[in-house]
Structure 1
Amino acid sequence: MSPWTYGVSTASLRMAFEDWLIYLGSNPSEQADLIHKAWRSAEQIVICASQSHEVTCKPCVVPMVHDTSFAHSGWPS
């Protein structure tokens, strides 16, 4: 199991997840915030997907300034 959890014990992962669920279950405003963020993300995905066939389409995700993952010349700019 360790390769899948990167050495973190499954018991501690379970306890952290249960702690997060208890917190989320007792905090309706956090639930609303997460639902709102999920809705906005879904809207952005739909907008990007609907405009992706256009030649002048802006990138859906803009990497952060310090992110060099897409710095290779093979990636479109």
Structure 2
Amino acid sequence: MGEIYLELTIANIEDRRRQKELAFLVDTGATRAWVSKQVAKELGIKKIGEISLELANGNVRNRLCVIGTEP
């Protein structure tokens, strides 16, 4: 079984000119999607908090919170 990717455009909701098209790996077991700190910084996405994520190998990581989505 191969990997499936979805092309999505993410943008800074306060400045729509700051946007980027990225390929996201589709993970049917995931409840969240994320981007790297570098991409968030490029887009000027502000940190609003942290959430703890448990990875498949049992490691726990704190990451930036999601700020919002729209169709």
TM-score per shorter chain, which class? Answer: under 0.3
Bigger helix fraction:
1
TM-score by length of 1: 0.20
Whose relative contact order is higher, 1 or 2, with alpha carbons under 8 Å and at least 6 apart?
2
TM-score by length of 2: 0.21
Q: Which of structures 1 and 2 has the bigger CA Rg? A: 1
